[in-house]
Amino acid sequence: MKKEISGAEKANLQELPQIKERISFLYIEHCLINRQDSAISIIDERGTVNMPAASLSVLLLGPGTSVTHRAMELIGDAGASVIWIGEHGVRYYAAGRPLTHSASLLIAQAQLVTNTRGRLSVARKMYQMRFPGEDVSMLTMQQLRGKEGARVRRIYRKSAKESGVEWNGREYDPDNFDDGTLVNQALSAGTACLYGLAHSVIAAMGCSAGLGFVHTGHERSFVYDVADLYKAEFVIPLAFSLAAKKPEDIGGEMRRALRDDIAHKHLLERIVKDIQYLLLDYQVADVSYADVVDLWDEKKGAVQNGISYGKDEDVSLETGYGKIIEDKE
């Protein structure tokens, strides 16, 4: 007899909010996370707050946080990502189920990243997005890296001049957040959130976090590729402007301000469209929910699953192929 489990039933993919409709991220620390029906319960000494799990893209768990198995089950079913953060630095990622049954983007990503021309084409498109109005189609990867490095340095100098914040370079200790300058602390906090957001969208779309085009050799190479498209726009100027105000909790101020900026500028929707553009050369209107599994064929690419191809009536479909299967039976 099947044991009944309390709480709401697992939602179908069609019932879950799309990426662009979700809250970008939520950071919590020093609390207990449990489950209440279809919501996660956040409990601390001040009381309890319930948050619908399906409304989240990323849940950032800071120091002093405990989470129950039932809460993690709900978060995973909702297609959200969870990131454990130690002393304001990313320590571990966990992704929920993709919000699509289709592997089309993953297949396209794998085909492009394993082909030198395809990989170079995507990498150039990523750099082209940083240099609108300029033609980078003939530049080598070395030239593109140099061009991007110069652009980022200009943005740091410009932000420092406009904010009046002293800038001596990107210096931080991953194991000691408070040891860095205010602006470096803000940059670290903002970058961690941006990485989490990029990871969540990549996972929700069914792509691989490890198959990068500019970055390579790391389990989150594609996360860094995607996040770098927006870091100069969303993280760097905001970090300097907040550091100029010298708030007591620079990490918290940065996360809250960045979350508002992400919502105002519809970054979640932009990331979805940009990934589709990079991997498919176009944007698709909706994510596919069709729960279809095909069989690979070296001639046709894909054939229908769930058919006995060794039967007499199927032999004529593939000249000689079905006969070979029958002879082996």
CATH number (domain holding residue 82): 3.100.10.20
Is the same domain home to 127 and 249?
Answer: yes
- 24: pLDDT strictly greater than 70: no
Is the same domain home to 74 and 147?
Answer: no
Please indicate, yes or no, if residue 312 is contained in any of the structural domains. yes
What's the pLDDT score for residue 287? 47
Of 73, 95, 117, the last residue of a domain is 95
Which two tokens mark 197?
């957001």
Please indicate, yes or no, if residue 286 is contained in any of the structural domains. no
Pick from 9-13, 95-99, 257-261: least confident: 9-13
168 or 297: which leads in pLDDT: 168
What's the pLDDT score for residue 293? 64
Please indicate, yes or no, if residue 157 is contained in any of the structural domains. yes
Q: How confident is the model at residue 320 (pLDDT cuts 50, 70, 90)?
A: very low
Q: How confident is the model at residue 289 (pLDDT cuts 50, 70, 90)?
A: very low
Alpha-carbon Rg for the chain, nearest whole angstrom, is 23
User: Residue 308 to residues 191, 313, 319, 324: CA-CA distances in angstroms?
Assistant: 51, 10, 16, 14
CA distance 79 to 154: 38
91 or 266: which leads in pLDDT: 266
Longest CA pairwise span in the chain (Å): 80
| Block residue for tokens 């490890």 | 210
Question: For 220-244, what is the mean pLDDT?
Answer: 95
CA distance 38 to 81: 16
Share of the chain above pLDDT 90, in %: 40
Is the same domain home to 159 and 89?
Answer: no
- 42: pLDDT strictly greater than 80: yes
Let me know if 321 is exposed, middle or buried by CB neighbors in 10 A (0-12, 13-18, 19+). Answer: middle
| CB within 8 Å of 312: residues ≥ 6 apart | 326
Q: Write the pLDDT tens digit of every residue in 250-272.
A: 988 998 899 889 888 988 889 98
Q: Write the pLDDT tens digit of every residue in 177-229.
A: 677 899 999 999 899 889 888 888 888 788 999 999 999 999 889 999 999 99
Share of the chain above pLDDT 70, in %: 72
Q: Which range in 90-94, 162-166, 195-199, 321-325 is most confidently predicted, on average pLDDT?
A: 162-166
Residue ranges making up the domain that contains 134: 104-280
Is the same domain home to 85 and 170?
Answer: no
Q: What is the pTM assigned to this prediction?
A: 0.72
Of 41, 63, 95, the last residue of a domain is 95
What's the pLDDT score for residue 222? 96
What does 98-148 look like in DSSP terms, one character per residue? Answer: -S-S--HHHHHHHHHHTSHHHHHHHHHHHHHHHSTTS--TT--HHHHHHHH
Is the same domain home to 108 and 205?
Answer: yes
What's the pLDDT score for residue 239? 97
- 89: pLDDT strictly greater than 70: no
What's the pLDDT score for residue 230? 96
> What is the domain count for the chain?
3
Q: Which range in 119-123, 178-182, 284-288, 315-319 is most confidently predicted, on average pLDDT?
A: 119-123
Please indicate, yes or no, if residue 4 is contained in any of the structural domains. no
What's the pLDDT score for residue 315? 43
217 or 312: which leads in pLDDT: 217
- Cα 258 to chain centroid distance, Å, stands at 16
Coil vs helix vs strand at 278: helix
- Residue 224's CB is within 10 A of a number of other CB atoms, namely 19
Please indicate, yes or no, if residue 287 is contained in any of the structural domains. no
Is the same domain home to 90 and 204?
Answer: no
What's the pLDDT score for residue 84? 78
CATH number at residue 197: 1.20.120.920
Please indicate, yes or no, if residue 285 is contained in any of the structural domains. no
- 329: pLDDT strictly greater than 50: no
- Average pLDDT value over all residues in the chain: 80
128 or 259: which leads in pLDDT: 128
56-61-67-72 Cα dihedral, nearest 10 degrees: 40
Is the same domain home to 249 and 270?
Answer: yes
